[in-house]
Structure 1
Amino acid sequence: MSNLFENYGRWDIEIVSGSGTKVYDAEEKEYLDFTSGIGVCNVGHCNPQVVAAMEAQINKLWHTSNLFIHSLQEEVAGKLVQHSMGSAVFFCNSGAEANEAAIKLARKYTGKSKIITFNQSFHGRTLGTIAATGQDKVKEGFGPLLETFIHLPFNDLAALENELDHETAAVMLEVIQGEGGVNPAEEAFIQGVDKLCKEKDILLIVDEVQTGIGRTGKAFGYQHYHISPDIITSAKGLGNGFPTGAMIGTDKVKTAFNPGSHGSTFGGNPLAMAAANATLDIVMNETFLAEVEEKGYYLSEKLADIFADIPEFMANRHKGLIMGFEFSTEVSTVVSLLRKNGLLVITAGPNVIRLLPPLTVTYEEINEALKIVHHTLLELKQLT
């Protein structure tokens, strides 16, 4: 009998070690991990460069208060600012915390509380971020939530324009709705949102928790759309598995967070910053990011060719190495068989297979995964 709360539907596997794209369970079975811990281990499990940075830091200092100067925080913040539209960074411990900070900053800066988000969005599991999320399943049973979030259809610019008013503090969105089905925003929609926000002096917040840190082949996903948000949030891949999150804002909103207005006991701690610093050194490189885009195209097209033989296959959506394959039926059986055959993937809703391999995945590993998928589909045909 477990002493843990049963709030996770766990697979019957214990992963005990990993290196790069490969992980191993307690029975020493090898798997190709095309989940990356749900888009977290962007530079692979136990990346030597990240491990070395953390080993060096762990013998110096684990924690000190944010009352003190943190030169390593400044170094990581400088890299995030260099590769984004921002000029200031707040460090925390997760994507939900980063989004909470963004919501608070938008409300404090504008003096308004209405924030518009979109159906099928996902912004976290705190009371504030589930209120922001456009999926009822994460809200059930938790009672009254913040009332000033409005949820609109995604990719519907007319609906947004009709809802914007003088009480609107911000529009908050994902450029690709990861948890909502790997739904990419249309370029005209995103550019239209950016234009409307600027015309009406409304803040634009882009949730980059899943799409940031190189996942899409750019430093941040919004950069594919040629826009300039006021606030972006980051987590998941930022620490390559060590818990860390960040909210990045422009110079315009920087002054709204004055001393004492917001904080995090563990946010930006030395171990997290060592992990983030090493991760950013690997990812924020034009050649590396170009390879992510190339590998994404290759994997997506090859998988779409394999899935094309399945009558239920409906759509292939990807940007870099975040991808979703939609079917007209539930995909849990396929995901389970792939796992049995040594390939770890996840879902994005009941009908979408989602792949988030490490950005460091090799073409040899991609081809190995393709063979597993092909074999699994043949096996599934025999079972049915």
Structure 2
Amino acid sequence: MSFSISDLFSQHFDSKFDLHEQYLNNQMVRVLRTIGYDRNYKRALGQYLYDQEGNEYLDLLSGFGVFAVGRNHPTVISALQETLTLELPNLVQMDVSLLSGLLAKEILATTPDNLDKMFFCNSGTEAVEAAIKFARYTTKRTKILYCEHGYHGLTMGSLALNGEEIFREGFGPMLPDCAAIPFNDLVALEQALSSKDVAAFIVEPIQGKGVNVPDDNYFPEVERLCKKYGTLFVADEVQTGIGRTGKFWAVEHWQVKPDMILMAKALSGGFVPVGGVAMTSKIMDTVFNRMDRAVVHGSTFSKNNMAMAAGLATLEVLRTENLIQNAAKVGEDIIGTINASAGQYEFLKEARGKGLMIAIEFQSPKSLSLKAAWAMLEAANKGLFCQMITIPLFKEHRVLSQVAGHGMNVVKLLPPLNLTPKDRDWVIGALDKTIADTHQVTGSIWTLGKNLAGHALKNRK
């Protein structure tokens, strides 16, 4: 009998949670079952997931931004199938590959004109690790600056730049000579840079945890200050890049030119892990400055044919389907519509973001009954209110979303870039109904809130 993945799926479809409990992270299974996200998805296409009953779900997570062109896009599938059948030489190592050269050329055509070299790796955190090494070698300095509440990955070097303590707790000591400053604070930035010992300032153009958008003058000044003090300006666009914010690169919103742009997630179309660093020739030529240093940094599976083919196909889809322009338009519609209704709802503070990287922030209300209900949740676990948004969105409206970070009252939307007007209306209608329900303290949604608070207090004990 021949080996068949299809047969494996058919035979074991109902056992995925049991397998994870026994052999993988059983705490993740507990989380999913507790909040009612334990669905058996059978199929995925574009922006939709389908469970075993055939119910359609709108995916506003897109694999944390990986599926920017939608799930199982036929163009990317075709490119991968073709690559598999061509019997191409792959990972010869004592050679250079054609597809990686073509993908590098295509990517660099989209970046600011000061960036003209590419380094490929397997993930966003590997791109951050490469940036740390390249910055230190190029500047002959060791200090790396990052922002509070920033997120740059979970390997040890990247973890040292992680602004959320929950990810760092118990894994120290961290990489030395890494320092945090507040995001969007130019005074703190100049003070940190003025010592002239900082190799790189690594920063997300829009912070993923919370979807924090800087002031309009922030990044032009970041660029100026980094040049003034001899520090490399590194834009971590692992989440914001490849069209997410309505521009190919988020730095385009402020017309700045970083010394490096880090990328991953959406670049592969969601099929094959791939990451990269776009950089200046000066950085590349400094790090790889002699023949005996040609392999001083790299990764075994980087530049593999499948990853490179997926990247080339993904860029083609973005162009031919005008997905970046669509992200800008649909995102503006969603943000504008939600903000227009803010006056109706005491809990709703604002919607913000760029393109289809959207935050919906909630706040303590003014009326006494709502204020008391809010205080009950906050006392149990800060940020718990958002679970009263995301869980009903999923259970009642079949919309998959996420809380934007630990201890914050922000719901985050990170959907595929191909949302249609119908999807936009689905999102807005589901949010409007759910937010309205939270203002009925005697309603079923607050029964959920009390249950969530009880679970949180129990876990604290």
TM-score range, shorter chain: over 0.9
| Matching residue of 2:106 | 79
Report the 3-state secondary structure (helix = DSSP H, G, I; strand = E; otherwise coil) of the residue aligned with 1:169.
strand
Report the 3-state secondary structure (helix = DSSP H, G, I; strand = E; otherwise coil) of the residue aligned with 2:67.
coil
Aligned: 1:195 with 2:224: yes
Name the TM-score, length of structure 2 as normaliser.
0.79
Amino acid at match of 2:103: V
Pairs within 5 Å for 1:169-248: 169-178=199-208, 180-242=209-271, 243-248=273-278
Query: In the aligned structure 1, how far is the partner of 2:355 from the partner of 2:127?
Result: 23
CA positional deviation for 1:61 = 4.6
Amino acid at match of 1:2: Q
| Matching residue of 2:127 | 98
**Deviation digits for residues 96-147 of structure 1, max 9, x if unmatched?**
1111111111111111110111101000000110101112111001120112
| Matching residue of 2:64 | 38
Aligned: 1:358 with 2:388: no
Q: Structure 1 residues 19-28 or 31-40, which shifts more?
A: 19-28
Report the 3-state secondary structure (helix = DSSP H, G, I; strand = E; otherwise coil) of the residue aligned with 1:80.
helix
| Matching residue of 1:310 | 345
| Matching residue of 1:57 | 83
| Matching residue of 2:390 | 335
CA positional deviation for 1:2 = 2.5
**Deviation digits for residues 271-316 of structure 1, max 9, x if unmatched?**
1111110111122479542332111101111233455433121122
Which entry has the higher C-alpha Rg, 1 or 2?
A: 2
**Runs of 4+, deviation exceeding 6 Å:** none
Query: In the aligned structure 1, how far is the partner of 2:316 from the partner of 2:235?
Result: 23
Pairs within 5 Å for 1:266-345: 266-284=301-319, 287-306=322-341, 308-328=343-363, 330-340=385-395, 341-345=397-401
Question: 1:65–1:265: 8 Å Cα contact kept in structure 2?
Answer: no
CA positional deviation for 1:5 = 2.6
| Matching residue of 2:41 | 15
CA positional deviation for 1:79 = 0.9
CA positional deviation for 1:378 = 4.6
Query: In the aligned structure 2, how far is the partner of 1:126 from the partner of 1:276?
Result: 24
Report the 3-state secondary structure (helix = DSSP H, G, I; strand = E; otherwise coil) of the residue aligned with 1:177.
coil
- Quickly say closer, same or farther: Cα 1:344–1:172, change in 2 above 3 A: same
| Matching residue of 2:23 | 3
- Quickly say closer, same or farther: Cα 1:251–1:363, change in 2 above 3 A: same
Name the TM-score, length of structure 1 as normaliser.
0.95
- Quickly say closer, same or farther: Cα 1:153–1:245, change in 2 above 3 A: same
Amino acid at match of 2:130: A
Query: In the aligned structure 2, how far is the partner of 1:48 from the partner of 1:176?
Result: 30
| Matching residue of 1:263 | 298
Report the 3-state secondary structure (helix = DSSP H, G, I; strand = E; otherwise coil) of the residue aligned with 1:247.
strand
Query: In the aligned structure 2, how far is the partner of 1:326 from the partner of 1:237?
Result: 25
Greater per-residue helix proportion: 2
Report the 3-state secondary structure (helix = DSSP H, G, I; strand = E; otherwise coil) of the residue aligned with 1:276.
helix
Report the 3-state secondary structure (helix = DSSP H, G, I; strand = E; otherwise coil) of the residue aligned with 1:134.
coil
Give the gaps of 5 or more residues in structure 2. 1-20, 289-293, 364-382, 447-461
**Deviation digits for residues 54-102 of structure 1, max 9, x if unmatched?**
1111223584244322111111111110000321111111111111111
Q: Structure 1 residues 365-374 or 138-147, which shifts more?
A: 365-374
Q: Identical aligned pairs, as a percentage?
A: 35
- Quickly say closer, same or farther: Cα 1:285–1:51, change in 2 above 3 A: closer
Question: 2:338–2:350: 8 Å Cα contact kept in structure 1?
Answer: no
Question: 1:219–1:284: 8 Å Cα contact kept in structure 2?
Answer: no
Question: 2:91–2:303: 8 Å Cα contact kept in structure 1?
Answer: no
Give the gaps of 5 or more residues in structure 1. none
Amino acid at match of 2:102: E
CA positional deviation for 1:364 = 1.4
Report the 3-state secondary structure (helix = DSSP H, G, I; strand = E; otherwise coil) of the residue aligned with 2:243.
coil
Amino acid at match of 1:229: P
